Amino acid sequence: MPTHQRTFPGDPRALRTARHWIHTTLNGHPHTDDAALIVTELGTNALTHTASGDGAGTFHVTLTVSERTTTITVTDAGHSKTSPEIQHPPVNATHGRGLGMVAALADSITVQGDDSGRTITAELHANDCRGGHPCR
């Protein structure tokens, strides 16, 4: 399984760089667009809610690709007062939908860590149309 890792600076402009890195690394893989959106949302959360967004902060992305699964992992710099959770904001809210969007795209999400740093992992599974399994 090829694993790719990169650390990005705690600057909102780094989100564009992270998306571009995902697109370049996956190079036309069927999960490219979903993986790019996931890294953008998880990176945004890291920058907005943790020390990753502070002056010298960073966030770390790991991308692992196998025949069956694409895994996107984002680790923040910690010091968050809240734990990541899927929210159900009112229609007119301007925040609170990121992790819900990731959950809608991913086949699974796990959150590990504490206020000293959290890692959120999203897995995208390959569609399987063989052996009587339905395509998704």
Report CA-CA distances (Å) from 14 to 31, 34, 90, 101, 114: 21, 18, 29, 20, 24
Q: Model confidence over 107-117: pLDDT tens digits?
A: 999 999 988 89
Cα 101 to Cα 96: distance, rounded to the nearest angstrom: 10
Q: What is the DSSP letter of 13?
A: T
pTM metric for this prediction: 0.84
Domains along the chain?
A: 3-125 (3.30.565.10)
Q: Model confidence over 21-52: pLDDT tens digits?
A: 999 999 989 999 999 999 999 999 999 989 99
pLDDT given for residue 17 in this prediction: 98
